[in-house]
Amino acid sequence: MKTHTNHYILLIRRIALLFVLFTICRTGFFLINSDLYPDMTFGRFLRIAGGGLRFDLTAIIYTNLLYIVVALLPFRFIYTRPVQNSLKALFVATNGIALAFNIADMAYFRFTLRRTSFSFFQEFSHDNNLGDILTASLTTYWYLVLLWIVMIAVLWRCYGKLQYARTIFYSTRSRILYYALRTVILAACMGLCVAGARGGFRTSTRPITLSNAGVYATQPLETHLVLNTPFCIYRTIGKAPLKPLHFFATEQALDSIYTPIRRPAPAGAFRANNVVVFILESFARHHIGALNAGIPGMVSYTPFLDSLILHSHACSNAFANGTKSIDAIPSVLGSIPTLEEPYVLTPYALNEVEGLGALLRQKGYHTSFFHGAQNNSMGFSSIVNMLGFEHYFGRAEYDNDRDFDGIWGIWDEPFLQFYARTLNSFPQPFASAVFTISSHHPFKVPAHMEGKFPKGTLPIHQCIGYTDYALRRFFDAASKMPWFENTLFVLTADHSSWSESYAGYRNPINALAIPIIYYHPGMQQAVLDTIPTQQINIMPAILRHLNFDLPYFAYGQAADSTAQPFVITYNGGYQLLHNNYVLLHNGEQCTGFYRWARKGFDGLGENLLGTLPAEQEKSETLLRAFLQQYSNRMIENRMTAK
């Protein structure tokens, strides 16, 4: 743009250009992830895009606040060429970074089903292999890199030039008038910026936040179309996401609906079985044939797990309580779910807690955690230590980089063999968990394994097959060891992954579907359990199996005759599966109420909001009770049974 024009008009044009680029990013986000929105109509997309402008405005103001302030300073030197060139560089650099995050989420969103927030930087703060990860990502998604380069070029080319002679007030003879008018304009623009960043002019208006996106969405996943990634990052910097809740006036009334304090009364003596927990990277339920029996068109990529399920207590209606790897460890090993933000990245991560490791150490257990990535990748060693697992084994302890995959860590097959051998050296009873890594982007298998597993329809499918093979090799080795017969094995996933092939796994609940499998050698009868369950129920289920007899704290619960099964997740809003109904809630009000039929494979169907008041009230009451216990106990550091 070679236009030479008024300083203020140019500023408005530059801001307008950013709105156009943000809208292009939103459109690209939708097009790349269109299979996640099969029911989207043009009219609904226009409504979403229109609502998204509010969030774009806030992000643009935060990104350009320094630029706007300097550009509007009431001093004549602002018009000099060096200052104008510096402002151009600042404008392109800051907005280039913002657009880079927006564009990156077009691809990254599929792996987390959440817009990137500030927790992303904390999540990977301990990793020194980010260069390798970034290089692999840039190679895979080269077309997004190209899009970003084009946008940078547009920013630079369309920035425009100032015609100094026509600059408003520049030639005004009265210096007093010049500075006075410029100061008034600066003050007015700052007022507009504050209002735009907050989301309105009224003093009663709360600053616009992520939950406000629900106003423009008809289902949780649509909120991520409304939002943009820079906004999500800015709004979660230093965020303490929880506020005290007072839905119930007394603790007694609250506890009568839901309590996380567990006081077991087992019928038998404590059973000192070893416990081994597998957390399998991205092992969505739709990869596992034995958990999808009777569903047309389903293909299995897990022959070993299919065979193991025939001798296990397997849960065919199990769900993750988060969407990222760091969400899984507190959920599985501590019965602490992720709601709006990963628990370990909140200010409450230093609370006193009772994880599985800490509880079993009271019974004399040796505790350990294994992860084939570099030590303390994603802060795992700190997380598991907090949950009572004393010994950590990572890539450093494996000590053989000939088996390094080049990006994430040690391939699953050799690392699980190392796991079996190391378990064999521990005193019994022991409690141990292992987190696999190979079924992860960039979805490769070892060179000597190429072609040995079905390619399927997605790059991850051969990796699922490879890790399933690694599990078979582990169990082959472990079955010959003396501790095997006295061990409870639990297999689950860290999170699900989006299914492009099976529409039944695309509704808000089934998008989080995972396996949960309990296996004990010599189990008398296999069970395929259809009762809804979740990751936070795993720790209570293990303790119930062991006849654990001490009080403990868990947001989840073991299935028994007194428990009311429910599943709670968060994905742009709260989702509660309870009493064969699905309740959707944006944090302020209920937005949907659906029947849960045929495991949800008919979709959520008709929105019954307001038509079944008694059933809806039961679900809303449980949700309110859970959220009050969750928020207030975290804020008050009351997350133990003491």
Residue ranges per domain, the chain? Answer: 4-235, 273-558
Q: CB–CB of 321/535 below 8 Å? A: yes
Q: Is 3.40.720.10 the CATH number for 273-558?
A: yes
Read off the pLDDT of residues 94-144 as tens digits, 9 standing for 90 and up: 999 999 999 999 988 877 677 887 767 766 655 666 666 667 777 788 899
Q: What is the DSSP string of 246-312?
A: -SSSSHHHHHHH---EE----SS-----EEEEEEETT--GGG-GGGSTT-TT---S-HHHHHHHTTS
Q: Of how many residues is the chain composed?
A: 642
CA angle 336, 338, 344 (to 5 degrees): 75
What is the spatial order of strands in the sheet that 590-595 belongs to? Answer: 566-570, 574-578, 581-585, 590-595
Say whether pLDDT at 173 is over 90. Answer: no
Higher pLDDT, residue 506 or 258: 258
Q: CB–CB of 384/369 below 8 Å? A: yes
pLDDT of residue 249: 92
Residue with tokens 């630029």: 67
pLDDT of residue 184: 83
Confidence of residue 202 (pLDDT cuts 50, 70, 90): very low
- Asked whether the CA dihedral 499, 343, 517, 490 is positive or negative, the reply is positive
pLDDT of residue 132: 66
Least confident window among 279-283, 343-347, 536-540: 343-347
Cis status of the peptide bond prior to 442, with omega within 30 of 0: yes
pLDDT of residue 124: 61
In this structure, the strands spanning 487-493 and 574-578 are: unpaired
Higher pLDDT, residue 514 or 219: 514
- The span from the CA of 26 to the CA of 59, in Å, is 13
